[in-house]
Amino acid sequence: MIVVTGGAGFIGSAIVYYLNQISIKDIIVVDSLGLKDNWKNLTGLEFNDYLEKDEFLYNLLSGKIPGIQTIIHMGACSDTTEQDATFLIENNFEYTKQLAKWSVNNNIRFIYASSAATYGDGSDRFDDDQNNSIRFKPLNMYGYSKQLFDMWAIKQRIMNRIVGLKYFNVFGPNEYHKGEMRSLVLKAYIQLKETGKVKLFKSHRPDYTHGEQKRDFLYIKDAVKMTLYFLNNPQYTGLYNIGSGKARTWNDLVTAIFTALDLEPNIEYIDMPSDIRSHYQYYTCANIDKLRSIGYSEKIISLEDDIQDYVVNYLEKNKYLS
């Protein structure tokens, strides 16, 4: 049996979908639905049971859930603007520690979501060699909560028994519920439909022109393939970047959305809010040599083809992965 925490979320629900595609349905989905509408991500998916996250942890630690083979822990608060540090520590750090300790003590495969946000401004490179982790300085509390667990696992000497995946800018179907944390692809699509144009932040650095800030964008379908590679290859442990390995501009991304809709690009550049200028990332790019070195050989889809698929087959049809 496979447990997927955050299973009603963006990446978690996509993992459940692709497990179903390979006929795996012996799954427990764990999440905290509350008043959100991420429950829609679960419609059409097949799994044995759903548990709220606190109930799951209690039952797990009480020995009431036999037969678990793997925990894929995607559950977390992923809001990079969250200011409640205590909440992030409890939700992202302490909860993950308890799952990891239980998994290691019971010899259960544990795959968890770290984040590229741990790298901070990238001045120490986007290198997933765990020996470099101590140098990273996250720019927000979310990234720090993820960094705390990475460092705890390294110091506890259990990183060689678990897998941490540093996701870069993942986008695609099933992110509809994420509010301000939705990808720019979805936000730009909505802007375009409502106004006929897309707004991008101006550059406030002389070495970047407007819209030429770069990110490592990764389609959800590739992100899940990379994740499930570790499910099928339990001999591999440690920290790994999950990205495309290519940095593309915001202009590239938005132009691809217009192209997918057979429209000419119409981009307006606006001032970046002053409160985020000091910690805005102008460049991210995953070094995926480590992932490739362990045999991951799947071709990564191009940004243009990704956006074409997302826009035409999902956004235009209001579809989910289900």
Does the annotation mark 187 as catalytic? no
Options 178, 197, 202, 246, the catalytic residue: 178
CA distance 130 to 247: 22
Catalytic-role residue among 142, 144, 189, 310: 142
Whether residue 215 contacts residue 3, with contact meaning beta carbons closer than 8 Å, is answered with: no
Give the Cα separation of 54 and 32 in Å (integer).
8
Please state, in angstroms and as integers, the Cα–Cα distance from residue 212 to each residue in 86, 204, 206, 209, 282, following that order: 36, 11, 11, 6, 8
- 146 noted as active-site residue: no
Alpha helices in the chain (DSSP H): 10-21, 53-61, 85-88, 95-105, 141-155, 184-195, 220-232, 250-260, 274-277, 289-293, 303-310
Q: How far is Cα 241 from Cα 288, in angstroms, rounded to an integer?
A: 6
Site of tokens 């120490």: 124
Q: How far apart are CA 4 and CA 20, in angstroms?
A: 13
Catalytically active residues, by annotation: 142, 178
